[in-house]
Amino acid sequence: MSSSSFLHQRQQFQQILSNPFRITPLTSTSTTIKPSLISLLFSRSGFLILLLLIIILGVFFPWINFFGNSSSSSSLSLKNQLKWKEYSLAQAVSFVAKNQTVIVCAVSQPYLPFLNNWLISISRQKHQDQVLVIAEDYATLYTVNQKWPGHAVLVPPAPDAQTAHKFGSEGFFNFTSRRPRHLLHILELGYNVMYNDVDMVWLADPFPYLKGQHDVYFTDDMTAVKPLNHSSELPPPGKKGRTYICSCMIFLRPTNGAKQVMKTWIEELKGQPWTKKKKSNDQPAFNWALNKTVGQAELYLLPQAAFPSGGLYFKNETWVQETKGLHVIIHNNYITGFDKKIKRFRDFGLWLVDDHASESPLGKL
């Protein structure tokens, strides 16, 4: 999820962030509020009754679209915001899980195009119903739930939206540091969880690759070509004394071993906070956590041919040809910047939002 600059809508969203209760249309599709709703809102008691109703229904049944079909909607209006603000991770996970399993990502507003691209690819594998978007700002929470009720949740407090996006920054470190806490929380609720960065595209269903009953499954972020039959054990440490496992795609079972790895990851992040000199992200801490929990957790390295790093897939055409048909998830890393990532996806026919937005549960954004 290495990335970059802001999109132009930023200011509009900041206004909403600073006052989540404003009746502010967020999307260009917004039209007018229904006349009946307006007259209700203008009568004081009507407004109070409505507010109470929204809060009660929103708290207890946040997934119910109790105002009916929102196609005639007032877009991201008061009702929408009130409804989702209190939606908890426990409610969200139990709503989306299938077979006790959820697929999660953590995104903020500038990543919405990548989220949509990823979702199209997941829909093609028929796993979109299991997707839960962990929104890292209120704009994302409301936008996703407006179009796809119940599939986004925000775990407060929302990180500072203005500092969270620049790869290598302290804000980005803080943002990604929330990841192991979200994952641990889901494990403690008793669910299997697959985490993905959203600069990924599924070409096939990854679930058949999660063989055996291991606690933690992950992929290698190295670019060197390995034999097809490489070991599924944690590889030996590299130059910096640690492995280069990617924190971008992780599958966890709700076992003590997996929870221990998440707890150790959280500790490692605390123990090695961001500094100007090191400009780290969450990945080294994940690798140290794996190193320290060997023996406490069953680890499983997924096959490189199925889950290559971007440094291999996008840079070694020979290898791509040799392993044709074996690729499962492609990660657009080893490059930073939204524009560069989008261009590279386009060049490889993996930017699906231009022509296939209708396949996304979010539609065209």
Residues that bind ligand NAG (CB under 6 A): 99, 160, 163, 170-171, 174, 192, 225, 227, 229, 231, 234, 237, 241-242, 291, 294, 316, 318-319, 322
Nearer to ligand NAG, 25 or 171 (CB): 171
Distance from C-alpha of 173 to C-alpha of 166, rounded to nearest angstrom: 9
Least gap, CB of 317 to ligand NAG (angstroms): 8
Packing angle of the helix pair 138-147, 10-18 (nearest 10 deg): 100
Nearer to ligand NAG, 33 or 246 (CB): 246
Nearer to ligand NAG, 270 or 343 (CB): 270
CA separation (Å) from 40 to 30, 33, 78, 79, 315? 20, 11, 13, 13, 60
My answer on whether omega of the bond before 206 falls inside 30° of 0, hence cis, is no
Pairing of strands 299-301, 329-331: unpaired
Nearer to ligand NAG, 190 or 237 (CB): 237
Nearer to ligand NAG, 233 or 347 (CB): 233
CA separation (Å) from 9 to 26, 104, 128, 139, 361? 10, 25, 27, 11, 22
Q: Is 304 left (phi over 0), alpha (psi -120 to 50) or beta?
A: alpha
Nearer to ligand NAG, 237 or 363 (CB): 237
Least gap, CB of 29 to ligand NAG (angstroms): 33
Least gap, CB of 12 to ligand NAG (angstroms): 22
**Residue closest to 350 by CA, chosen among 329, 334, 335:** 329
Nearer to ligand NAG, 46 or 273 (CB): 273
Q: In the structure encoding, which two tokens stand for residue 66, read together?
A: 């109790």
Of all residues in this chain, which one has the CB nearest to ligand NAG in the complex? 241
CA 109 to chain centre: 11
Least gap, CB of 294 to ligand NAG (angstroms): 4
Query: Residues 297, 261: contact at Cβ < 8 Å?
Result: yes
Pairing of strands 192-196, 152-153: unpaired
Nearer to ligand NAG, 71 or 231 (CB): 231
Q: Is 51 exposed, middle or buried (0-12, 13-18, 19+ CB in 10 A)?
A: middle
Least gap, CB of 249 to ligand NAG (angstroms): 17
Enumerate the H helices of the chain as residue ranges.
10-18, 35-42, 44-60, 78-85, 89-96, 112-124, 138-147, 170-177, 179-188, 256-271, 283-293, 310-313, 317-322, 338-347, 353-356
Least gap, CB of 238 to ligand NAG (angstroms): 9
**Residue closest to 140 by CA, chosen among 192, 80, 182:** 80
Least gap, CB of 245 to ligand NAG (angstroms): 10
Least gap, CB of 157 to ligand NAG (angstroms): 10
Least gap, CB of 242 to ligand NAG (angstroms): 6
Q: Is 277 exposed, middle or buried (0-12, 13-18, 19+ CB in 10 A)?
A: exposed
Least gap, CB of 227 to ligand NAG (angstroms): 5
Instruction: Please give the single-letter amino acid code of residue 202.
Output: W
Nearer to ligand NAG, 9 or 232 (CB): 232
Nearer to ligand NAG, 166 or 263 (CB): 166
Phi, psi of 45 (to 5 degrees): -70, -35
